[in-house]
Structure 1
Amino acid sequence: MSVFTYHLVKTNFFSALKILLFPPKPKNIPGLIHAETMTAMTLGSPIFSPSRMLIRQIAVFAQWENESDINHFLAENSTGKILSKGWHTRLTFMRKWGKFNKFEIPDETTEFENPDSPVVAVTIARMKFLEIPRFIQWGRPVEKLVRDHPSTTLSLASIKFPNTVSTFSIWKTQKEMTDMVHGHSKVPKPKRHADAMKERDRKDFHFEFTTLRFKAISEFGEWDGRSNFIPNLNNN
């Protein structure tokens, strides 16, 4: 079974630009199935603000044949060496909604044995250009909901021009995440996510879109001076 990774690193402007212009490609990296390389954003921040586009902060979401290929990439590849200075988690796929090309996402789903298990969620989409203003209108309230939710230990967004957007979040329990999705969280305006999904069903914002749910295998390094984001996780 393949392994997914999510990487976050803060680096200098020129290293970040190099990674964005020359992202990891499967033809050049053994064991890499696909990777999306993006610039990190602060969830819920104003559209025109320095925190909306954090050019020196890189997010990479990738799928690999196995963990030994990940280790080799981080130790030997020039981009991998930069990413190794940040934080990353290794993930086992559980289930999906929607579809996104290039990743080899299984059709089979796996359920968590315990609804109180921590869960990692990734969304990724290719936007329809004419729908971007409407997406922002409905999306920013959802970003704030996830950002401020007491059950997330880490949450952020990312973007790759011209039209790829993504979110990443770690939840203390699967139940708390699904409660948020369905509008049952005990927070102000809990139905923001559910309302946005209804609007998307009415008229789609995206060419392609998927929501992925994972179980974390391990995590490494630090992000924003913190580590151990995933509860009850014993690294291999």
Structure 2
Amino acid sequence: MGMHSFHLARVPLGRALGALLRAPAAPGLVHVEVLAGMQLGAPVVSPRRMQVRNLAVFAEWDDEAALEAFLAEHPLGRALSSGWHVRLAYLRRWGEVRELAHLPAETGRTDPAEPVVAVTLARVRLPELPRFIRWGRPVERQVRDHPETTLALAAMRPPRTVSTFSIWTSSRAMTGMVFGRDRGDTARRHHEAMAERDRRDFHREFTTLRFRPLSEHGSWQGKSHFIPPRPDAQPRTGADARRRFFT
């Protein structure tokens, strides 16, 4: 199996629009989603809801060499190399989006204490968009403000593609949020939104993907070290301490 990556970078407007309108192609690039960054929980009508120059790019590669070549040689890759990205090992999939349906349901057992990255990708049914926004925005705030996320954001590509990306201190913390096991008034927002989706689906296609973070590179808006240390790793101190950041 190959590898995945997720990138954040602020790029020139023309480059961003070009990539949103026509996804790049490159040797060893299996699939790519180019999206405009979006602040979780932002008002529906707000410049924070779609930040065209803040690109979020999710990609699948044949191998790490293909990613390295793209970052060094492709015009969009060189623009992305000025930002931040994380390299990912695939673990598990729920739901299905056609372009990612070849991924197995799971690759094996995982340690519930280790850090994980979650990526969701949805193709929204346009008539259901008002319902999706009404139920989705409270969940956005729940994930954004969760004490066990170190980076949480959303992204979109009109008219119907929406994605979220979050880094969690552990898969146990992530699944606790998903199933409403946290404490507090907001704990069941995600669980209730999923029940509403089961009642009448918001999406034409939807998938949630879980990954093990392998390495992170660069910085995003002046910050880095978003990946929490593994449970068996030596704790970071000083400038290397884990920093919280929500875009």
Give TM class, smaller chain. Answer: over 0.9
Q: How many residues get paired? A: 230
Q: Within 5 Å, which residues of 2 pair with 1:142-221?
A: 142-221=139-218
Q: Within 5 Å, which residues of 2 pair with 1:2-13?
A: 2-13=2-13
Q: CA deviation at 1:184?
A: 1.2
Contact conserved, 2:94 with 2:105, CA < 8 A, in 1?
Answer: no
Contact conserved, 1:149 with 1:187, CA < 8 A, in 2?
Answer: no
Q: Which residue of 2 aligns with 1:38?
A: 35
Q: CA deviation at 1:55?
A: 1.2
Q: Which residue of 1 aligns with 2:243?
A: none
Q: Which residue of 1 aligns with 2:239?
A: none
Contact conserved, 1:96 with 1:212, CA < 8 A, in 2?
Answer: yes
Q: Distance in 2 between matches of 1:41 and 1:225?
A: 18
Contact conserved, 1:96 with 1:109, CA < 8 A, in 2?
Answer: no
Worse-superposed segment, 52-61 or 95-104? 95-104
Q: Distance in 2 between matches of 1:107 and 1:139?
A: 25
Q: Distance in 2 between matches of 1:108 and 1:22?
A: 31
2:20 partner amino acid: L
Match of 1:98 among 95, 98, 103: 95
Q: Which residue of 2 aligns with 1:22?
A: 22
Contact conserved, 1:98 with 1:210, CA < 8 A, in 2?
Answer: yes
- Tell whether 2:69 aligns with 1:59: no
TM-score (normalizing by structure 1): 0.94
Worse-superposed segment, 150-159 or 14-23? 14-23
- Unpaired segments ≥5 residues, structure 2: 234-247
2:212 partner amino acid: K
1:102 partner amino acid: E
Contact conserved, 2:116 with 2:169, CA < 8 A, in 1?
Answer: yes
1:171 partner amino acid: W
SS in 2 for 1:225: coil
Q: CA deviation at 1:212?
A: 0.5
What is the CA RMSD across the aligned residues, in angstroms? 1.2
1:31 partner amino acid: G
Q: CA deviation at 1:110?
A: 2.3
Q: Distance in 2 between matches of 1:109 and 1:196?
A: 28
Q: CA deviation at 1:35?
A: 0.4
Q: Which residue of 2 aligns with 1:107?
A: 105
Contact conserved, 1:153 with 1:170, CA < 8 A, in 2?
Answer: yes
Q: CA deviation at 1:13?
A: 1.6
1:105 partner amino acid: L
- Tell whether 2:124 aligns with 1:127: yes
- Unpaired segments ≥5 residues, structure 1: none
Runs of 4 or more off by more than 6 Å in structure 1? Answer: none
Q: CA deviation at 1:188?
A: 3.3
Q: CA deviation at 1:135?
A: 0.5
Q: Distance in 2 between matches of 1:111 and 1:10?
A: 36
Q: Distance in 1 between matches of 2:16 and 2:30?
A: 22
